[in-house]
Structure formats: C-alpha cells, structure tokens
Amino acid sequence: MKKWNKLIVFSIITVLLFAIVPQKAAANVSVSARNAILIEQESGRILYEKAANDQNRIASITKIMTAVLAIESGKLEDMVKISESAVKAEGSSVYLKPGEEVKLEDLVYGLMLRSGNDAAVAIAEYVGGSLDGFVYLMNQKADEIGMKNTRFANPHGLDDHENHLSTAFDMAILTRYAMENETYQKIVGTEVHRAPNPTESWDRVWKNKNRLLTGLYKYTTGGKTGYTKRAKRTLVSSASKDNLDLIAVTLNGPDDWNDHIQMYENGFDHYQKVEVLSKGTIEKIEDDFYKGKVYLHSAFTYPVTKEEKGSFEVEYKLIKPKEDWEDHARVPEIVGKAVVYFENEKVKSLPIFYQQPERKENQSFFDYFRSLFTSIVGVRTDD
C-alpha cells in the first residue's frame, strides 16, 4: 500500500512541475509537413521548427530567388523578348508567346502570382544571359545571404536536376532577405495583376495562387506556392499582426494551408515584441566622460513569450577615453557597442555613437567654445 502511495505522490509532483515550469509555445504546434519552420522576420528568431535543416526538393518556392535576382538587376522596366525555350518550359505557365516582348516587371508578377515556368526561363535568360549564367547567380546569392544547405540548378524548381535542393531554414533565410525589399513585398502581396498582352486585344489577368493571401488568412502579407510530383506540396508565406512579422515555410506538407495558419496563430498568441534597447541617449552609462553624450541610432526589439521577458542582459563596451579627446573633434563617431544577450546567448550588437556638441543658432563662437569646454569638465550651465 505504501508503494502505491509513493507512486501517487510522485505522479502529483510530476503534474505540478509541468504546470509550474513554462513550456515552449511551439509544443502546441503539430504540422502535417515533413519539414517546417516559423521565424520572426526582423530578428530571425526561430519560434518553431521541425526537421528544418534537412535537405529536400523545394519545387516552385525556388522562384523566390528568381524574383529577388530580377528585382535586384535594376532592369524591371526593360522589355524582354520571349524565346522558344521559355515558351517550351513544362508545367505551370502564363502562356507567353515566342517573339513577343514583355516588361521584366510583368514577368516577375507572372512568376510569383501564377508560378509561370515560362516566365522563370525568360527572366533567367535575360538577367543571367543564359540559364547556366542565371543559376550561377542564384547560388552566388545563396552563399552571400547564408543559405548553407542550398543548391540551385534551375530558376523554376522543376524536377529536372537531382541536385536542386534546399531546407526549410534556408528558404526562411531567403524570404527574410527578400521581404526587406519593398518591390518584392508589393509583388508577393498583390492579389491580382494586369499585364499588357501585345498580340491580343485584352490584358493578361493573373490571380495569386496563394490562398492564404486571397482569403484563407487575413494577416497574410505574401508568399509563394510550389508543387512537383517528387517535392510534393511546398509553401512559403508571411504574415503580420500586432507589430509582429512572421515567416513560415513547409516542405512536403499535405495540409500546408492549415499548417501555416496553425503556426501563425500559435506564434501570434504566445510571442510579442519587447523593446530591449531604446533609440537615443543611453541613460545607464555612468562613465564621467561618456555620461549623457552617447546614444543609439535605433531601438532593438525582440520577440519573446511572457515568461521570457526577464531573460535579457545588456553589456556596454566603450573605448577607453584618450588624453587628446579633450578636443571633442578627435572623438570618433562610434565609441563602442551595446551587446544584447538572451538566455545567455548573444543575439545583437549595436554601435554606440558619440554626440558632438552642436553650435546653437545665434551663439557666438566664444560661447560655443565655452560650452564645449564646460561639457568636457562636466560643468552644466543653464540657458
């Protein structure tokens, strides 16, 4: 009987511990996808992941990179002559015609809204000079932004190469990078786009295939769909609510629309941005030389749960003042850095700037020099 009493007591203690100890918000998420990730856009913090670093086929979410390179080429206003090879691209199409001329910007809309493989080839040939040249640019950009487990072999994601692979994490990195571009944001956030049709009397009208954007989830701001027989369903999306911008990626997700909604709802319910560092004068600096004279150009915010709000530490590292700094003109613009730690891990480093005294309007040179001197020795004067 005593043995059973001990077991009962142990069970009660275990239940109480689980109730008291904060559990990860991500524990409430269960997705159908083989690989998935949810990140906060500004900080890049991972809020949920499932086999996010496993390499797999990615299908048409490849076109996010194709769109980025087209936008960054600076040629969106150029007219692109459509080749026979572009028209012959297999799979989804915007029905381009050989020899017609289409603005590069419209090709990017056709690429992202309707997933046109013909548009992908036309973009690649124009921006990269050839398919091979464009693929080289794709991989170069992937390396540049930190996509460590990605290899592109075509501009559209069709299963015509065995080494065309990426991960959910890498595609989140790419989307985070892409969403920093306002033109990209505008294109992927467009529900319907009209493009001139040079050989017909009517415009081309393209409706976005991203059902999250067009009605399923009101907080959606963009994304890209994908499907091939070997990759299955792939999906990248972005959503914003209450000043929180999130990015979700799923690979091989049979119920991807609901996967993304579930990840977003969980993220928005459990996380909020907190301001860790404020823009402007750093009040916590006590050093006599720097006090009241150093500042941050921008604030720093980070997404946390309620239980995590007290998990930050900030370390201020300042250059030791030199003797010749009594002449303020010799003080460098940047005099240190503010290092933010979250749960003992470094998450951000911001430069600390030195505020040079400014000469006030109608202030004589003598008065300006005197205010400079008094600021150096720590004497304050009232106006």
Angle between helices 117-128 and 63-72 (to 10 degrees): 40
> How far apart (Å, rounded) are the C-alpha atoms in residues 367 and 374?
10
Annotated ligand binding at 224? The verdict is: yes
Location of each CATH 3.40.710.10 domain in the chain: 26-270
* pLDDT at 191 (0 to 100): 98
Q: Is 60 a catalytic residue?
A: yes
Catalytic choice (43, 50, 92, 115): 115
Q: How many residues in the chain?
A: 383
Q: Domain 274-377, CATH 2.30.140.30 — does that match?
A: yes
Helix (H) or strand (E) holding 223: strand 220-228
Q: Which CATH class is domain 26-270?
A: alpha beta
* pLDDT at 207 (0 to 100): 98
Catalytic choice (50, 63, 209, 293): 63
* pLDDT at 302 (0 to 100): 97
Sort residue 222 into left (φ over 0), alpha (ψ -120 to 50) or beta: left
Read off the tokens for 202. 């009517």
**Which segments in the chain show pLDDT lower than 50?**
1-24, 359-360, 363, 367-368, 370-383
User: Looking at this protein, which amino acid is placed at residue 324?
Assistant: D
Location of each CATH 2.30.140.30 domain in the chain: 274-377
Q: Is 298 a catalytic residue?
A: no
* pLDDT at 6 (0 to 100): 45
* pLDDT at 357 (0 to 100): 65
